[in-house]
Chains A and B, each alone.
Chain A
């Protein structure tokens, strides 16, 4: 059974810092891995999608990596801003079940 874990559960950093959010999954049979952002009381916004054949994806200040063999992904945020404050969710699309399995998220606070 696929399980997705995100560490840390919460993170607080001063503005301008570079930071890394971690995601691990137990079953390497995945189609893709997706990082989302969720603001309080809002829906999920897709940030980056990494297909199983890819190692990383970049969008602006965000870079996501994928190491299928070790069951890990990281989301790197460069030069963090207060507007980056949100909950970041990692999800893997299981190759065996076709289900998108979510981690419990990392809640990020960037202080001005």
Chain B
């Protein structure tokens, strides 16, 4: 009965590959997010969707493409992976101005 679940938890891949991370929330929230936590543990927002519509798109390379098939899901697809993409990616959800709930994170390592 996990509130925000993301898969996979760990992902190790070669430079140049394409990979996806999936996120699902069962809290009935309208808004979902992707955050990136770098090696210095700093969390930075990448994208935010409200009711399947993109509302925040930070300065993220266009190799990163979020997709929200419905308001309970927000997936992140990354093309042509680079070494600098190695990080922990967190999915979160909330009501629009409410409390955020985070998933456990997906640790991406690009070799």
Contact = CB atoms under 8 A, between A and B. Distances in A.
A104 B41 contact: yes
Nearest to B104: A43
A47 B34 CA distance: 20
B56 A105 contact: no
B105 interface: yes
Contact of A100 (B41, B45, B105): B45
B97 interface: yes
B43 A102 contact: yes
A28 interface: no
Interface residues of A, number: 23
Contact of A98 (B40, B41, B56, B105): B56
Contacts, number: 52
Contact of A99 (B42, B48, B90, B101): B48
For this complex, into which size category does the number of interface residues on chain B fall? 20 to 34
Chief secondary structure at chain A's binding surface: strand
B41 A87 contact: yes
B97 A104 contact: no
Contacts of A101: 45
A43 B102 contact: yes
Contacts of B105: 42-43
Given A42-B104, A91-B43, A104-B42, 5 more contacts: A38-B41, A43-B102, A44-B90, A98-B55, A99-B48
8 contacts: A34-B99, A43-B102, A43-B104, A45-B102, A46-B102, A99-B48, A100-B33, A102-B42
Interface of B: 33, 40-45, 48, 55-56, 90, 92, 96-105
